Structure 1
Amino acid sequence: MSFFSKLKSRLTKSSSRLDQGLDALMETGEPEAPEAAAPAPVAEPTPEPQPAPRAEPAPAPAPRTEPAPLSTPVSTPEPAPAPAPQAEAPKRGFFSRLIGGGGEPAPGAATSPPSAPRAPERKRVLDDDLLEQLEELLISADLGVDAALRVSANLAEGRFGRRVGASEIKALLAEEVARVLEPVARPLPLTGLKPQVVLVVGVNGSGKTTTIGKLAMQLRGAGKSVMIAAGDTFRAAAVEQLQVWGERAGVPVMTAPQGSDPASLAFDALTRAQDEGADLLLIDTAGRLQNRADLMAELEKIVRVIRKKDPTAPHDTLLVLDATVGQNALSQVELFRKAADVTGLVMTKLDGTAKGGVLVALADRFGLPIHAIGVGESIEDLAPFDPEEFARALVGMAGPEDIA
């Protein structure tokens, strides 16, 4: 199963909210009327084929003078051909509905009309009222006020006053969301520096440790030499978790006794990575709430100490965000940027929330690169961020492979 398929199937909470909301908006609309044109062409052809067979019976009286041999009707070649055209009738009826031809298939076609009227969706005029309702729906899907207003305005441009249906709005929404996300969809840059220091920060439970483990395995699989520094010295489980990932990937993990100074461990890890010529050093940090000034000051200390060894480090600071926090992610980005100069984002737990739209709000407000997203626990469930796939999954649309 491709990552898009997983993303689409696991973003059900977010996409179903938009799906159901758009359907509800269209309930007051009217179904497409062009259906009435379909029966008209079907009725016209019916009289045309009938006169042709009626013209043939006129010459038929000649054989009727020889009628003594009722064997001609008995020869039943007529009943035999009858079944053949009956078998073709449904085919003609189907195509006649598409191209407006065929008369006999009318009975067969009569069975298909019930499904035809269900196909056309209800449509509404794209006016101020519909736009306001659409904005409220986008805000409820956690796109945020600013992003929701911008997306709605772009969607209405050139279409205001026109009748639209839910499927068209979904396609337009996906297009506008992808446009907002396109500039920030960038994979983690590999600078070629040795070692490239990547500091990973975030609040408690955001998925930092798991993200580091997955990144280490993926980078190792790409042929890079990687080291991990278990900088969360306050949580023994975090160290053990990284050691398990390190064993799987064949990556060394530097640890320190519980309660040790994480800044000191980060310094020692950078020294070792330089000595061994590692390509990347991934530094884990303890989870900290963005409103705890003391903990944020500790994070600033880690950065200062690392820079004593390498003034350009850390070269990347990844903020791991838990998608379930919704709009609270905005305040996390603001404060972590001040403390650690965040350079990129990783969004996890998109499979367990209806707030996946917050990525659009983050992109619209901060413009920080979104390097990867996670939709599960396995290593394959962390993948580079693709704006088009995400946008289509968010609104519940099929992917290219599903269409094919």
Structure 2
Amino acid sequence: METVILAVVIAVVVLGAIGGLVIGTRRKKPLPPPPPTAPDITTPPAEPHVGDEAETPRDEPRRTIEEVDLPDGSAPVTVEEPPSLEVPEIEVPEPTAGRLVRLRARLSRSQNALGKGLLTLLSREHLDEETWEEIEDTLLAADVGVAPTQELVDSLRERVKVLGTRTPAELRTLLREELVKLVGTDLDRTVRTEPESSKPGIVMVVGVNGTGKTTTTGKLARVLVADGRSVVLGAADTFRAAAADQLQTWGERVGAYTVRGPEGGDPASVAFDAVKEGKEMGTDVVLIDTAGRLHTKTGLMDELGKVKRVVEKHAPLDEVLLVLDATTGQNGLVQARVFAEVVDITGIVLTKLDGTAKGGIVVAVQRELGVPVKLVGLGEGADDLAPFEPEAFVDALIGE
């Protein structure tokens, strides 16, 4: 019996020891880490409940309602306004009346050689055949052309023979009269922009790229605006992206609306839309800038012919202006012939006449096409396009 009791006691002691070891092992297991002191950016903060008060910052003392400045209407409250879009300022172009006279000095700088050369030759004591040949050479070198040169020399010889004595003043008057007659004062040089039936007047501008065609169209818009006309521009030169951008910039400067199409689009479609827009807006004039590619004569004829036919579905063209670079001289006449075969040219615009151009080209191109020079470009300025005035032009040729 004692043996059994002893065995039970030993068993209880052993079980107790084992239990103590297990409990000791469990108590030594590491505790979970304390909650972080800084807020966890991944866990959104708990929403405040009703009745919770906002914690007052420790570095800022509480302020009473009397200490807080509230707007009472006496202090101005500044409110930032949204930035306004910049609207381009509309320019007021220089009046066109007498513009060529004001630009005469610019023209005479490059043309005086012709006038002075002729006056020097005519002032010789003996006007023999050799002198008259020199006079012919001077006129031909100025791009006057063969037939006009012969006419001028024949007339001068006859008048000098009748005149007898030749003072400098008499010679200048004589030369001036003959040159004015050669340039022509009986031609209608007005740019026709007022149709008899209804507005708008339709003007198509043609010419080879590089002659200043698009720039001239923009400057012509300024001329018309200066004369009190409203203008719509048609950017029908769709093969040069820069041409439409350039024309639109010119238009924005004087408040003219520009109609344009996608790059490489149909020029006739743009021209049609421009005339349609001009009619709907009640505009005075629609200016259409066309492409000037001379890759093939046939392609040019087809393209310009199509533009002309499409535009005339709205109304007949009032003016077709050919832009020529005066510095190309007689070579420009070749271009003029090509365009004259495509469309009926009604007027000529001579650009770059202030540079190395020879003034005789005015006479030559008029004779070649049978149409008058209506406008001349005398510089790079926005208002350097002037209505052509024969007498002011001749005065610039022969100087004071």
Fold shared per TM-score above 0.5: yes
2:225 aligned to 220, 228, 235, which one?
A: 220
Note the C-alpha offset of 1:363. Answer: 2.6
Cα distance in 2 between the residues matched to 1:166 and 1:213: 43
Equivalence for 2:155: 154
Cα distance in 1 between the residues matched to 2:131 and 2:289: 47
Cα distance in 2 between the residues matched to 1:163 and 1:326: 36
Note the C-alpha offset of 1:2. Answer: 6.1
Unaligned runs of 5+ in 2: 1-97
Q: Secondary structure at the match of 1:380?
A: coil
Change (3 A) 1:159 1:221: closer
Letter paired with 1:174: R
TM-score by length of 2: 0.69
Cα distance in 2 between the residues matched to 1:272 and 1:332: 32
Letter paired with 1:294: G
Equivalence for 2:364: 361
Alignment of structure 1 residues 57-136 onto 2, 5 Å:
123-136=124-137
Aligned length: 299
Q: Aligned residues: percent identity? A: 43
Change (3 A) 1:291 1:147: farther
Cα distance in 2 between the residues matched to 1:142 and 1:127: 24
Change (3 A) 1:222 1:18: closer
Cα distance in 2 between the residues matched to 1:225 and 1:4: 26
2:179 aligned to 177, 180, 192, which one?
A: 177
Note the C-alpha offset of 1:191. Answer: 2.2
Work out whether residues 205 and 288 of structure 2, in 8 Å CA contact, stay in contact via their aligned partners in 1: yes
Cα distance in 2 between the residues matched to 1:383 and 1:255: 27
Letter paired with 1:287: G
Note the C-alpha offset of 1:18. Answer: 4.4
TM-score by length of 1: 0.68
Work out whether residues 11 and 356 of structure 1, in 8 Å CA contact, stay in contact via their aligned partners in 2: no
Letter paired with 2:363: V
Equivalence for 1:279: 284
Equivalence for 2:257: 252
1:323 aligns with 2:320: no
1:337 aligns with 2:316: no
Note the C-alpha offset of 1:348. Answer: 0.9
Choose 1 or 2 for highest CA Rg.
2
Work out whether residues 204 and 288 of structure 1, in 8 Å CA contact, stay in contact via their aligned partners in 2: yes
1:6 aligns with 2:7: no
- Encode CA deviations 1:32-55: one digit per residue, 9 max, x unaligned: xxxxxxxxxxxxxxxxxxxxxxxx
Equivalence for 1:387: 390
Work out whether residues 126 and 163 of structure 1, in 8 Å CA contact, stay in contact via their aligned partners in 2: no
Change (3 A) 1:322 1:370: same
Note the C-alpha offset of 1:292. Answer: 2.8
Note the C-alpha offset of 1:260. Answer: 0.5
1:236 aligned to 232, 235, 241, which one?
A: 241
- Encode CA deviations 1:66-103: one digit per residue, 9 max, x unaligned: xxxxxxxxxxxxxxxxxxxxxxxxxxxxxxxxxxxxxx
Q: Secondary structure at the match of 2:182?
A: helix
RMSD over aligned CA atoms reads: 2.3
Change (3 A) 1:232 1:249: same
Note the C-alpha offset of 1:10. Answer: 3.3
2:202 aligned to 179, 197, 219, which one?
A: 197
Letter paired with 1:13: S
Cα distance in 1 between the residues matched to 2:150 and 2:230: 46
Cα distance in 1 between the residues matched to 2:258 and 2:350: 24
Work out whether residues 207 and 323 of structure 2, in 8 Å CA contact, stay in contact via their aligned partners in 1: yes
Change (3 A) 1:157 1:289: farther
Work out whether residues 203 and 321 of structure 2, in 8 Å CA contact, stay in contact via their aligned partners in 1: yes
Note the C-alpha offset of 1:221. Answer: 2.9
Cα distance in 2 between the residues matched to 1:308 and 1:392: 44
Cα distance in 1 between the residues matched to 2:108 and 2:208: 23
2:377 aligned to 349, 374, 381, which one?
A: 374
Note the C-alpha offset of 1:164. Answer: 4.2
User: Which 4+ residue blocks in structure 1 deviate beyond 6 angstroms?
Assistant: none
Unaligned runs of 5+ in 1: 27-121, 399-404
Change (3 A) 1:155 1:365: farther
- Encode CA deviations 1:205-229: one digit per residue, 9 max, x unaligned: 1111111111212222332221000
Change (3 A) 1:7 1:305: same
Work out whether residues 192 and 318 of structure 2, in 8 Å CA contact, stay in contact via their aligned partners in 1: no
